[in-house]
């Protein structure tokens, strides 16, 4: 899983958009930060049903699922509220709660690549980017393709995407996906429908881009929020409009408008829906302007500003409105010889919390033809969400007086390439110190007590990550992804943490990508994980592909070891499962 190479060891071709972690250039984050890119070739060989499941294969990523329809994302032990999710560089994280961050209106077949920045990104993106940033980059293709799939637990899926070319090199593209399942245990059934439309058109020496999407998900969430047979329905609507001037100009401009609306209908007990029913609609509208330029060939600059307004209408949290704004600047230095450097400074102002300044600094250096080193430091913050401040139900009680979180992070790493050019190994060590960490907790000796939000005075997270790739032959590739995590928290040991202080402690995954007889292609993934509390488990997943003239057949196996370890609800995870699919590709 090389940071800067594709699935076959070739350099990743990046478009004109900056890779996550920088607004200046695409290559600097890959040289100076822990950035992982899951390109289209990688996604095609993962046994994933949807975008959320594809994220499970990222280094140091942890997915806490209610069902395949919805899950919470964390990176490097940071909680789901401490993550920032972008689609084509546009903020999608929900202001009400991080539970909804992955309620994205993006079908998996529409994804070109997933960019993962491990570590703070507040110096570039502002609040929430404490543990890391995930950017979903959508693909641009007018070729039509479809996919049908069925398998265990009564699961079925159908997907279609394609487009038409317009005059003057414009294009109009569409994508859709529908899926359903009976669930792996009672109370976990789900269904989803996702659709997108995209317009790209040359305009005034630049390119106009309009993206819109909608997604509807309905799923059982038994035992996740509380010990009840809960059921939830969510609706997500998104639209963003951007115009980018020709990047060959000395100074390029990119103004943008974005809108996201998220609706949630939560029933605590589906057998008594009116006993407690919670309806929310959150909405965020934003505008941004980014200017990019270069002083000379080795120095690039970016600066800009953002404003946004967040609104909430909720039966449980009330009607609320907040506004925020930010200014930022970034400089990148890429000399022919010597270290490359990237520095950013951002100041955010929130109506509720006031101002916060986030600096970041990273550098990378080629020590030799085979060895690269990098280091970075950054500051990040996060204001408590509306749910953490105002939510109440029969088992939860929020605290409106919470303080915002603050953290500082240090990172050091390097990549060693083999003399033969057939392999490489990357190691990264990091330390994150946090103050006023926000967590839901209750007394250990009172299991009937309410879960209440509180600030943990201090916590320190340390970790080590390893990524490796080796090609012993033309038809064989071996990949390694491993992470180790240690967490120290200044928390009252009389209280039990609901989620934040229970990260995956260590995980080792070995993948074998192998060409098989009969034109078959195989990808085998063996993982061993250990969560806080010394619970360890192993899982084996695979995908077997058979290319054909019109497309590809594939067979997926999930959890073939039939591990029965417990998920975040305290119930067994899905057991052994098999799925068969057919992808048809047009010319």
* pLDDT per position as a tens digit, 240-259: 999 998 877 788 899 999 99
pLDDT band per the 50, 70, 90 thresholds, residue 444: confident
Point out the least confidently predicted range of 69-73, 211-215, 583-587: 583-587
Q: What pLDDT is recorded for position 11? A: 37
Q: Distance (Å, rounded) from C-alpha 314 to C-alpha 316?
A: 5
2 has a pLDDT exceeding 60? no
**DSSP assignments along 428-466, one per residue:** EEEEEEEEEEEEEEEETT-TTSPEEEEEEEEEEEEEEEE
If you search the block for the tokens 């058979």, which residue do you land on?
Answer: 546
Let me know if residue 545 belongs to a domain. yes
519 has a pLDDT exceeding 60? yes
Compare 169 and 136 and report the one with higher pLDDT: 136
Number of domains in the chain: 1
Let me know if residue 11 belongs to a domain. no
Give the pair of three-digit tokens for residue 127.
Answer: 């609040």
Contacts 24+ apart (CB under 8 A), 552-561: 552/582, 552/583, 552/585, 553/580, 553/581, 553/582, 553/583, 554/580, 554/581, 554/582, 554/583, 555/579, 555/580, 555/581, 556/47, 556/151, 556/580, 556/581, 557/47, 558/47, 558/152
Let me know if residue 364 belongs to a domain. yes
Compare 39 and 550 and report the one with higher pLDDT: 39
pLDDT band per the 50, 70, 90 thresholds, residue 160: very high
4 has a pLDDT exceeding 50? no
Q: What pLDDT is recorded for position 12? A: 36
Point out the least confidently predicted range of 207-216, 245-254, 503-512: 245-254
Instruction: Please report the beta strands in 32-119, taking only residues with DSSP state E, as ranges in sequence order.
Output: 34-39, 61-67, 70-75, 83-87, 90-91, 111-118
Q: Which residues of 500-529 are buried (b: 16+ CB within 10 A; e: fewer)?
A: bbbbbbbbbbebebeeeeeeebebbbbbeb
pLDDT band per the 50, 70, 90 thresholds, residue 481: very high
Average pLDDT over residues 470-499: 86
Let me know if residue 222 belongs to a domain. yes
Q: What pLDDT is recorded for position 9? A: 38
Print the SS3 string covering 512-567. EEEECHHHCEEEEEEEEEEECCCEEEEEEEEEEEEECCCEEEEEEEECCCCCCCEC
Let me know if residue 533 belongs to a domain. yes
Let me know if residue 16 belongs to a domain. no
Q: Distance (Å, rounded) from C-alpha 464 to C-alpha 484?
A: 5
Give the pair of three-digit tokens for residue 52.
Answer: 């959320």
Q: What pLDDT is recorded for position 16? A: 42
Let me know if residue 21 belongs to a domain. no
18 has a pLDDT exceeding 70? no
Q: Domain containing 193: what range?
A: 28-585
Q: Which residue, among 219, 195, 237, has the nearest Cα to 92 in the 3D structure?
A: 237
Q: What is the mean pLDDT of the chain?
A: 89
Let me know if residue 2 belongs to a domain. no
Predicted structure pTM score: 0.92
- Tell me the CA distances in angstroms from 126 to 23, 135, 319, one per residue in order: 13, 14, 25
Which CATH number fits the domain that encloses residue 519?
2.40.170.20
pLDDT band per the 50, 70, 90 thresholds, residue 24: confident
If you search the block for the tokens 């590739």, which residue do you land on?
Answer: 477
Q: What pLDDT is recorded for position 449? A: 87
Average pLDDT over residues 73-77: 90
């Amino acid at each position: 899983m090389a940071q800067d190479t594709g699935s076959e060891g070739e350099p990743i071709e990046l478009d004109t958009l900056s890779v996550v972690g920088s607004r200046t250039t695409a290559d600097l984050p890959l040289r100076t930060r822990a950035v992982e890119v899951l390109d289209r070739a990688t996604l095609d060989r993962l046994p994933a049903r949807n975008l959320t499941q594809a994220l499970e294969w990222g280094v140091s990523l942890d997915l806490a699922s209610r069902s395949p329809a919805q899950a919470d994302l964390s990176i490097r032990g940071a909680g789901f509220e401490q993550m920032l999710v972008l689609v084509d560089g546009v903020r999608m994280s929900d202001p009400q709660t991080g539970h909804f961050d992955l309620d994205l209106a993006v079908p998996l077949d529409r994804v070109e690549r997933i960019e993962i920045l491990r570590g703070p990104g507040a110096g570039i993106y502002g609040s929430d980017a404490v543990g890391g940033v995930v950017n979903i980059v959508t693909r641009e293709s007018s070729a039509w393709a479809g996919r049908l799939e069925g398998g265990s637990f009564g699961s079925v899926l159908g997907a279609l995407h394609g487009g038409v070319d317009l005059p003057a090199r414009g294009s109009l593209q569409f994508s859709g996906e529908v899926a359903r399942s009976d669930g792996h245990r009672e109370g976990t059934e789900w269904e989803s429908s996702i659709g997108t439309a995209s317009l790209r058109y040359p305009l005034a020496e630049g390119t106009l881009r309009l993206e819109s999407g909608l997604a509807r998900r309905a799923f059982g969430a038994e035992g996740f929020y509380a010990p009840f047979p809960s059921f939830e329905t969510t609706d997500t609507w998104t639209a963003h409009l951007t115009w980018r001037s020709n990047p060959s100009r000395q100074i390029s401009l990119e103004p943008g408008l974005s809108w996201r609306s998220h609706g949630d209908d939560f029933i605590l007990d589906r057998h008594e829906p009116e006993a407690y029913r919670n309806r929310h609609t959150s909405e965020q509208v934003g505008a941004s302007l980014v200017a990019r330029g270069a002083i000379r060939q080795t120095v690039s600059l970016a600066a800009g500003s953002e404003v946004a307004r967040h609104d909430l209408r909720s039966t449980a949290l009330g009607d609320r409105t907040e506004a925020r704004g930010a200014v930022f600047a970034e400089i990148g230095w890429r000399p022919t010889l010597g270290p490359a450097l990237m520095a950013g400074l951002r100041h955010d102002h929130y109506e509720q919390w006031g101002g916060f300044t986030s600096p970041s600094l990273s550098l990378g250096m080629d020590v030799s033809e085979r060895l690269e080193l990098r280091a970075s430091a950054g500051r990040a913050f996060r204001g408590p969400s509306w749910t953490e401040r105002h939510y109440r139900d029969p088992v939860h009680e929020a605290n409106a007086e919470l303080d915002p979180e603050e953290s500082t992070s240090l990172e050091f790493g390097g990549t060693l390439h083999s003399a033969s050019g057939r392999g490489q190994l990357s190691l990264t060590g990091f330390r994150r110190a946090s103050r006023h960490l926000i967590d839901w907790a209750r007394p250990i000796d009172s299991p009937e007590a309410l879960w209440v939000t509180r600030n943990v005075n201090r916590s320190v997270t340390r970790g080590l990550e390893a990524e490796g790739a080796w090609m012993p032959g033309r038809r064989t590739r071996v990949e390694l992804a491993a992470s180790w995590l240690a967490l120290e928290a200044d928390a009252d040991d009389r209280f039990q943490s609901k989620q934040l202080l229970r990260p995956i402690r260590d995980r080792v995954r070995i993948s074998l990508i192998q060409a098989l007889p009969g034109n078959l292609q195989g990808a085998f993934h063996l993982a061993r994980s250990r969560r806080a509390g010394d619970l360890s488990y192993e899982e084996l997943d695979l995908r077997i592909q058979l290319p054909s003239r019109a497309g590809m057949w594939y067979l997926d196996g999930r959890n073939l070891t039939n591990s029965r370890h417990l998920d975040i609800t305290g119930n067994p995870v899905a057991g052994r499962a098999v799925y068969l699919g057919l992808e048809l590709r047009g010319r």
